[in-house]
Structure 1
Amino acid sequence: MPTDPRAIALFLDMLMSERGAAANTVSAYRRDLEGASADLSGGLTASGTDELERLFAGWAELAAASVARKRSALRRFFAFLVAEGIRGDNPALAIAGVKPGRPLPKTLSIEEVDRLFATLDELLAADANPPLVRLKALMELLYGSGLRATELVSLPRNAIRPPQPFAIVTGKGNKERLIPLSPTALRAVEAQLALVPRESRYLFPSGKGHLSRVWLYKLVQGLAAKAGIAPERISPHVLRHAFATHMLANGADLRALQTLLGHADISTTERYTHVESARLVATVKGLHPLADEG
């Protein structure tokens, strides 16, 4: 089976020579396929449905149109591999379509988040090995600062400089923002920094680059399973949602939260007020003595 770069090059060459695809289309497919390959650590061509589903989970915050385009690129890419006899199946066909509208963000309760961190601390107390030290830093930054998965895994090594209680993060649109860090997060990052070579470009290095979003997804789900939380209920993005929802529940200002999350439009941040409202309504329905009366 050819490597990802070779397979992608063959596919794009077919689009141009046999299908007469427009330059913009070829360029978009190149970006999507090379990005997917990077997220799967060069294993796109050989990936199965499970890997592709985790890949799409990492694209949860993208616009529906962007996700649809990426899905189309993957389906056509794998269809090409099947037609060329490189693969016998098209795993992208099993990926569900984009649902219309924007559902309310999925989140976790404060008790569930506490359980995640209590489990992680127990594991660290038993054996503070490098993977667990790294996971502690990842979790503290996901939930403690509400970082996007891409922002987190690609953090430069010098983005956080203890004891300075903040980080400079480059988010969507190449915009920088300042992220406050809790003392617990700082300690976790200090422990991670002690394990990262000084010449490393990234805080969470992996191979020649940084930790992939797909691998981050696996790590978070693995911890959830150990904590007794259904893995399908959690992802890095769910922890970002939990950060925002719990901040609002504790009285955070909506504009301040918009800045922390790096949202260009406050309407995106306002979705979390609907999550909290829905939770309050559910609480009243479940606990109020008159809730079941007609």
Structure 2
Amino acid sequence: MNDLLAAFLQHLAVERNASPHTLRSYRSDLAEFQRFLGPAGVGSVREVDARIVRAFLAGLHTRGLDPASVARKLAALRSWFRFLVRRRLVPRNVARDVRGPRLPQKLPGFLPIDEVRVLMEGPAAADAQRARDTAILELLYASGLRVSELAGLDVDDADRAERTVRVLGKGGKERIVPFGTKAADALERYLGTRPAARGPLFTNRRGGRLTGRSIRTIVRRRARGAGLVRRVSPHTLRHTFATHLLDAGADLRAIQELLGHSRLSTTQRYTHVGSDHLMRVYDAAHPRAHGPGAAVSPPA
């Protein structure tokens, strides 16, 4: 069974261009399932049925694992069995017959514009490290990039004249994302502090490429330094980017392209329509929004 897991991970890495973080998650979740199978008396993946999968998930629940983690492990099992079915190693995807836990539909956090301004307008970039950190924040908010996409950028990927960045997203899909003048100015200031004109766009003090973990630390540190109470991450800025575009009237499908989502439903979860925007839409559209004598004429 270890060989089948190794083949699946190789498929994810080579054919699906999965990130190292994704590969680690799949490896951990599926290895845990394999450890469960031995005591359950299952010696072959062909012996696994929906009952076995349900017993595995029930054990996770008994141990107190949160529903999101249980759902993630079920998703990993479904992906693995789909791979096995396509390779004709098992007759059917038994994990698809198992219903996952019901997850609360939480709205992920985003920053209002005034807090974005506080985050960005910290002390002037007095040294190379601060110039770099400011450029990271500005580009994350201006482009909505995933942290892995930002970390993977090279200097040549940023067209500073056109104010666009070439991004290699999930599944190896390339897209061009614009950014504004604030991010362009911050990028110019940062690049003016470093000697190398090529290679990784964002580097550490030794000249190596910044990791996603390092970028998360930079964002958290700057948010704390700016006095923001809420927890801020690169993902927060990605949600903020999408929400502010939608709130200003941007088309949802255009936002989908900018974020690099293959499904519009994913983009809908990323965006938050602010209450002010909802009130403007309501006041403009509802016939009885303004009281007596102020009704909106019905359309012809």
Distance in 2 between residues matched to 1:95 and 1:123, nearest whole Å: 45
What pairs with 1:137-176 in structure 2 (closer than 5 Å)? Answer: 137-176=135-174
Cα distance, 1:27–1:67 mapped onto 2, change above 3 Å:
closer
Gap runs ≥5 in structure 2: 14-18, 34-62, 72-101, 280-300
Write the letter of the residue equivalent to 2:200. Y
1:211 matched to 2:210: yes
1:225-270 Cα offsets, whole Å, 9 max, x none, are: 1111136x21000110001011111111111111111111111112
Which residue is equivalent to 2:229?
230
Which residue is equivalent to 2:259?
261
Rg larger for: 2
Distance in 2 between residues matched to 1:219 and 1:138, nearest whole Å: 9
Give the alignment partner of residue 3 of structure 2, picking from 9, 19, 22. Answer: 22
Cα distance, 1:180–1:280 mapped onto 2, change above 3 Å:
closer
244-253 vs 196-205, greater mean Cα deviation? 196-205
Q: CA RMSD in A?
A: 3.5
1:65-117 Cα offsets, whole Å, 9 max, x none, are: x88635537989xxxxxxxxxxxxxxxx9996626546322211112111111
Distance in 2 between residues matched to 1:162 and 1:253, nearest whole Å: 25
Secondary structure (helix, strand or coil) at the match of 2:121 reads helix
Write the letter of the residue equivalent to 1:230. V
Q: 1:271 Cα shift?
A: 2.0
Cα distance, 1:277–1:114 mapped onto 2, change above 3 Å:
closer
Which residue is equivalent to 2:121?
118
Distance in 2 between residues matched to 1:160 and 1:281, nearest whole Å: 36
Contact 1:248 1:272 in 2 (8 A): no
Q: 1:129 Cα shift?
A: 0.7
Greater helix fraction, Structure 1 or Structure 2: 1
Distance in 1 between residues matched to 2:270 and 2:214, nearest whole Å: 27
Contact 1:196 1:203 in 2 (8 A): no
Q: 1:164 Cα shift?
A: 2.1
Contact 1:108 1:238 in 2 (8 A): yes
1:146-196 Cα offsets, whole Å, 9 max, x none, are: 111011111011111322221111111111111112111111111222234
Structure having greater relative contact order (Cα 8 Å, sep ≥ 6): 1
Which residue is equivalent to 2:273?
276
129-138 vs 23-32, greater mean Cα deviation? 23-32
Cα distance, 1:30–1:174 mapped onto 2, change above 3 Å:
closer
Which residue is equivalent to 2:29?
72
Distance in 2 between residues matched to 1:191 and 1:139, nearest whole Å: 13
Secondary structure (helix, strand or coil) at the match of 1:135 reads helix
User: How high is the TM-score relative to the length of structure 1?
Assistant: 0.61
Distance in 2 between residues matched to 1:74 and 1:184, nearest whole Å: 46
Distance in 1 between residues matched to 2:278 and 2:24, nearest whole Å: 32
What pairs with 1:48-127 in structure 2 (closer than 5 Å)? Answer: 69=26, 71-72=28-29, 98=69, 101=103, 103-119=106-122, 122-124=123-125
Secondary structure (helix, strand or coil) at the match of 1:106 reads coil
Distance in 2 between residues matched to 1:224 and 1:95, nearest whole Å: 30
153-162 vs 131-140, greater mean Cα deviation? 153-162
Write the letter of the residue equivalent to 2:150. L
> Aligned pair count?
212
Q: 1:199 Cα shift?
A: 5.9
Gap runs ≥5 in structure 1: 1-19, 33-37, 40-58, 77-92, 283-294
Which residue is equivalent to 1:90?
none
Identity of aligned pairs, percent?
Answer: 34
Cα distance, 1:238–1:94 mapped onto 2, change above 3 Å:
farther
1:190-240 Cα offsets, whole Å, 9 max, x none, are: 122223443642101235741111111111111111111136x21000110
